Amino acid sequence: MCVSGCSESGHAVWAFDDLNDFYDPQLKRGNLRDIQSLARPFEFVQGDLLDRATLDELCASVKFDQIIHWRRGQACGQALNPLPCISG
């Protein structure tokens, strides 16, 4: 809903997700297909948010106006340090 809403507003949207199996990955892939079928500017990158090198590379290659971060973490105690490219 977030992606389709941003896309309908005219934004080029990128999604970054590891498609882990905490929730059904087939459901996530189905959601991706639905978004891709909208034929609006959309890019998907599969990767781990905790992989700093991958995020640095992505943020160096794409100028993001905004980053929306939905990861909760699969356990309440699994904290995520804000990364510079997310806060910048």
Ligand X SMILES: NC(=O)c1ccc[n+]([C@@H]2O[C@H](COP(=O)([O-])OP(=O)(O)OC[C@H]3O[C@@H](n4cnc5c(N)ncnc54)[C@H](O)[C@@H]3O)[C@@H](O)[C@H]2O)c1
63-80 b/e with 16+ CB inside 10 Å = b? eeeeeeeeeeeeeeeeee
- Out of 6, 32, 50, 58, the residue judged to bind ligand X by CB under 6 A: 50
- Out of 1, 10, 39, 70, the residue judged to bind ligand X by CB under 6 A: 70
- Out of 19, 32, 45, 58, the residue judged to bind ligand X by CB under 6 A: 19
Q: Taking CB under 6 A as the rule, does residue 84 contact ligand X? A: no
Residue with the two structure tokens 């980053």: 67
Residues in touch with ligand X (CB under 6 A) = 17-20, 22, 28, 48-50, 70-74
